[in-house]
Amino acid sequence: MGGVDRLEATRALVELLTHELVVAALGNPAYDLFLAGDRDENFYMWGAMGLAGSVGLGLALALPGRRVVVLDGDGAVLMNLNALATIGSLRPANLVHVVWDNGSYDLTGGQPTAAARGVRLAAVARACGYDPVEEVEDLAAFRACMKRALADRRGPWFVWVRTLPTRPREVPLEALRRRWVQLEPFMDRAQGRGAEGPLQGQIR
């Protein structure tokens, strides 16, 4: 059985990004995004487990011309499975929902999630109306999939990624703390303000 190192995959994703907005779920998805490449276009959740997809939906509705990527985890998605039904049925075409699935609550000691007991989140997403839905288990496939998802005008995309158990790494919590509460840089980039001026034609 394959599997992707989440931090490596997040680095591969960050390399592909230009102006896309990224919402990362609390805990490991946010830590890895910060480590892979902090940028003004990143929004790091601090709490509200299970609501990263909903924040992404709000952003996608507010900015229909902008591609929005959500980085989520299996435990978080399972906590608010209903959000998949809302997103899938409303079909925001500019949303790309990535779910790292290692089948465990890594941050609390590795207890297995329902995904480890056989719940297939990609099948749930497909049933909720996400389209396309992709399932990837290695880094090359993930990179290729994200390249297509970022360039696409269809959506909402659901990208299910089998990930390996989290490797120990230093998480710069103090630096992240500032990013959790200073939302203006993200809002400026999202709303096309700031040094680079208004953004146009963000969907390539």
Site string for another protein, 68-87 (x = CB under 8 A): ------------x-xx-xx-
Contact flag: residue 130 with another protein (CB under 8 A): no
Cis check: omega of the bond before 168, within 30 degrees of 0 = no
Q: Which of 58, 134, 66 has the alpha carbon at shortest distance from 94?
A: 66
Distance from C-alpha of 38 to C-alpha of 193, rounded to nearest angstrom: 18
| CA of residue 90 relative to chain centroid, distance | 18
Contact flag: residue 202 with another protein (CB under 8 A): no
Distance from C-alpha of 53 to C-alpha of 99, rounded to nearest angstrom: 10
Specify the stretch interacting with another protein by CB under 8 A; choose among 28-36, 52-60, 132-140, 143-151.
52-60
Site size toward another protein, by CB under 8 A: 36
* One of 9, 22, 33, 52 touching another protein (CB under 8 A): 52
Contact flag: residue 124 with another protein (CB under 8 A): no
Distance from C-alpha of 85 to C-alpha of 77, rounded to nearest angstrom: 11
Contact flag: residue 127 with another protein (CB under 8 A): no
Distance from C-alpha of 191 to C-alpha of 155, rounded to nearest angstrom: 21
Specify the stretch interacting with another protein by CB under 8 A; choose among 1-9, 132-140, 143-151, 175-183.
175-183
The burial class, CB within 10 Å (0-12 / 13-18 / 19+), for 2 is exposed
Closest to another protein by CB, 25 or 145: 25
Least distance (Å) from another protein to the CB of residue 59? Answer: 4
End-to-end CA distance of the chain: 34
* One of 16, 35, 63, 119 touching another protein (CB under 8 A): 63
* One of 110, 112, 187, 196 touching another protein (CB under 8 A): 187
Distances (CA, A) of 30 to 7, 74, 132, 194, 200: 10, 14, 24, 24, 27
Least distance (Å) from another protein to the CB of residue 36? Answer: 21
Point out which residues bind another protein (CB under 8 A).
23, 43, 45-63, 66, 80, 82-83, 85-86, 89-90, 180-181, 183, 186-187, 190-191
